[in-house]
Amino acid sequence: MNLTSVYAVVLKDGLRKYKYKNSKLKPVGSSEGNKGAIFGYRSKDLMIQGRGVVITSEEGLSENEDQFTHWTPNVFSYGTYTNSDRQFVKGHNENNLRQINTFVVDIDITGEKFNHGEIVLAAYDRLGLLPTMILDTPKGYQVYFVLRDAAYVTKKSNFKVINVAKRISENIRKELAKDLPGIDVGCNHFGIARIPRNDNVLFFEESYSYSFQEWLNWSMTQAEDNKAEVIPFPHQKNEIRQLDEKWVDLLMNSEKLIGSKGVLGRNNAIFTLSLAYYASKSPIETCEYNMIMLNDRLKNPLKESEIKRIIKSAYSSKYEAASKDYIREICHTWIDSSLTDDQLFSQPKGWYKFKKDRKERVKSHSKEWQQDILAYLSSQSYTYKPFVYSTKKEIREEIGVPERSFDAALKTLKEKNQVFYRVTRGRGGGIMIASVKALMRTIILTKKEVREAYFEAIREAFLVPGTLVQKVFYQLLPAKKAYTEIELISLESG
């Protein structure tokens, strides 16, 4: 593996290319402006003691390839030493951050390790966004979610990007912790991490990087109260649609919104308002009309194509509602910093209500039927047979879901890329159905010599299009080679 290119992907041009002094690579006459610094450590013990190396160039980092065990993948404004013999470093603190390049999740496992492919599965299932890199560590793994472009920490934005990034990082950890053991949710978000080496990189795919805005959009939809249920239904007695909330009118009538890095600005406001329209069952055409009208009133409007892109994302069915924390921050930034919850929300819980336990209700909700289907598929799947072949009627009766609810839930799961299914009609016909998670686990855990054949069988059986899912499958395969065709329907365990 070319570690120099891996370093470049993570560091995002945060360091000089060449050493300031004694460079062996610097072209004659070339000059570079001041950039940032990172810190490297040659062992965990030295790291604990604070004995490290200040690195200000990619050349200096490459010269130490495989010599460090730890580093700071996010770049600081400066780094220095506390003693004359340059052993003890300082400067790797939050208020010295220059740019945020990556979110890192530390997984500390007691006992036998699980396959690192489970991390990819959990990220796909919980986040819908994939890790860029997974490193092997003595006690577990470290997972890098590298940003497509660095998020810069500036005085102009009052350093707010750090708080926003920290909230994103917290949500990533909390979601992954639902499926993966050993995640430290509260450890330093932008501190010291394991460095990629030739002996510890298990997974690396540069294309699996996402913009800060994409991560922010995802994070903004994580409800702060997991016991609360979002009310996405039309206006009914004693229920309040999101569009009926006070903050919606405040944002719709604001003309001050602008885009500014590190601050929740006009893009975020339009995305949040679009979510309110979506959750209130408002037609997308109505949302587009109102968002374009809002945009036209702004002093620095967005392009109409960008407005439609934001709305399309909000209506993608991947999201339900924005967190109240983000709504508060947007309104406090652009409307009035003294606004209270009573002035923003029409009821104490906003548009949330606590739902009764399922056994106390006559009807189940669509999301619960979806979870029932996924749970059923999980119980019926194993590595060499990651699918169910049956009839819709038999599956419905097994789960106990009404016909129309089953069809609606299945359609939604397919739209979310959570299941694949294929229906064959006529005598002897039925449905072949599998969760994407089960199919991915098959690709990860089967023997290398049959992975390619399994992939082709899956692709043909379910008519998998050229989607993100297919891209993920390819990443998990060895180099392409000749293989024997396999019919998925005839596969057995053993």
> Is 131 in contact with 144 (CB distance < 8 Å)?
yes
Compute the Cα dihedral for 224, 226, 228, 233 and give only its sign.
positive
438: left (phi over 0), alpha (psi -120 to 50) or beta: alpha
Q: Do the Cβ atoms of 147 and 210 come closer than 8 Å? A: yes
User: What phi and psi, each to the nearest 5 degrees, are found at residue 111?
Assistant: 95, -160
CATH number, domain with residue 482: 1.10.10.10
**How far does the chain reach from its first CA to its final CA, in angstroms?**
35
pLDDT, position 210: 92
Contacts of 105 (CB under 8 A, 6+ apart): 142, 143, 145, 172, 173, 176, 183
- The reported pLDDT for the residue numbered 201 is 93
**118 shares its domain with 85:** yes
Domain that holds residue 302: 221-354
Closest to 322 in 3D by CA, of 415, 381, 248: 248
Q: Looking at the predicted structure, is the pLDDT value of residue 493 above 50?
A: no
**Quick one: 17 and 143 in the same domain?**
yes
In a shared domain, residues 342 and 371:
no
Verify that 292 and 388 share a domain, yes or no: no
Structural domain includes residue 359: no
Alpha carbons 182 and 384: distance in angstroms, whole number: 28
| Contact yes or no for 387/488 (Cβ under 8 A) | yes
pLDDT of residue 297: 84
Contact 127, 218 (CB under 8 A): yes
> 212 lies in a domain?
no
Query: Would residue 435 count as lying in a domain?
Result: yes
| Domain C-terminal end among 206, 232, 262 | 206
Is residue 360, in this structure, part of any structural domain at all? no
Q: How many CB atoms lie within 10 A of CB 287?
A: 23
State how far Cα 224 lies from the chain centre: 17
Mean pLDDT of the chain: 80
- 56 and 123 both lie in a single domain: yes
Q: Tens digit of pLDDT for each residue in 439-457?
A: 777 776 666 666 667 767 7
In single-letter form, the type of residue at position 243 comes to L
* 146-189 tens-digit pLDDT: 999 999 988 766 577 888 898 899 999 999 999 899 998 878 89
Q: How far apart are CA 263 and CA 300, in angstroms?
A: 15
CATH code for position 138: 3.90.920
DSSP letter for 340, please. Answer: -
What mean pLDDT do residues 253-269 have? 73
The tokens describing 246, both together, are 């006070």
| Mean pLDDT score, 86-97 | 89
Q: What is the mean pLDDT of residues 241-251?
A: 85
The answer to the question of residue 215 being in a domain is no
Do the Cβ atoms of 174 and 127 come closer than 8 Å? no
Which DSSP helix (H) or strand (E) runs through 32? none
Q: Are 333 and 325 contacting, i.e. CB atoms less than 8 angstroms apart?
A: no
For helices 448-462 and 436-445, give the axis angle rounded to 10 degrees.
160
Q: What is the DSSP letter of 183?
A: B
Residues 183 and 44 in one domain: yes
Edge-to-edge order in the sheet of strand 133-137? 75-76, 97-108, 140-152, 133-137, 201-204
Judge whether 384 lies within some domain.
yes
As a whole number of Å, the CA-based R_g of the chain is 25
Looking at the fold, whether 395 and 319 belong to one and the same domain comes out as no
Q: What is the pLDDT of residue 492?
A: 37
Looking at the predicted structure, is the pLDDT value of residue 472 above 70?
no
pLDDT tens across 193-231, in order?
999 999 999 989 888 899 998 898 888 777 543 433 433
Residue 361 domain-assigned (yes or no): no
Question: Are residues 281 and 146 both part of a single domain?
Answer: no
* Structural domain contains residue 211: no
Asked if pLDDT for residue 473 goes beyond 80, the answer is no
Domain boundary among 162, 181, 206: 206
Do 65 and 37 share a domain, yes or no? Answer: yes
Residues 319 and 424 placed together within one structural domain of the fold? no
Q: Report the SS3 class of residue 38.
A: strand
pLDDT, tens digit, 9 for 90 and up, residues 107-125 = 999 888 888 888 988 888 7
CA triplet 442, 446, 451: central angle to 5 degrees?
Answer: 85
Residues 383-389, mean pLDDT to the nearest whole number: 76
What are the phi and psi torsion angles at 477 (to 5°)?
A: -95, 155
On the question of pLDDT at 328 being above 90, the answer is no
352-365: average pLDDT: 46
Integer CA distances (angstroms), 92 to 61, 146, 189, in order: 17, 19, 12
Task: Supply the pTM of this predicted model.
Answer: 0.66
Which band of pLDDT confidence, cut at 50, 70 and 90, is reported for residue 78?
A: very high
At 15, which helix (H) or strand (E)?
Answer: none
Number of CB atoms found within 10 A of residue 385's CB:
17
Number of domains the chain is built from: 3
Q: At 3, list the tokens.
A: 């570690």
The predicted pLDDT at position 18 comes to 85
In this prediction, residue 365 carries a pLDDT of 60
pLDDT at 105 over 90: yes
Say yes or no to pLDDT of 347 above 60.
no
Instruction: Give, as one character, the DSSP assignment of residue 484.
Output: -
Q: Assign 261 a pLDDT band (cuts: 50, 70, 90).
A: low
The pLDDT value given to residue 86: 86
Do 370 and 345 lie in one domain? The reply is: no
User: Residue 432: phi, psi to the nearest 5?
Assistant: -105, 125
Same domain assignment for residues 148 and 256: no
Torsion angle (degrees, nearest 10) of CA 86, 87, 92, 98 = 30
Overall average pLDDT of the 122-149 stretch:
91
> Tokens 């890790």 map to which residue?
131
Q: How confident is the model at residue 237 (pLDDT cuts 50, 70, 90)?
A: very low
Using a pLDDT cut of 70, give the percent of the chain over it.
80
Query: Domain boundary at 330, 354, 378, which?
Result: 354
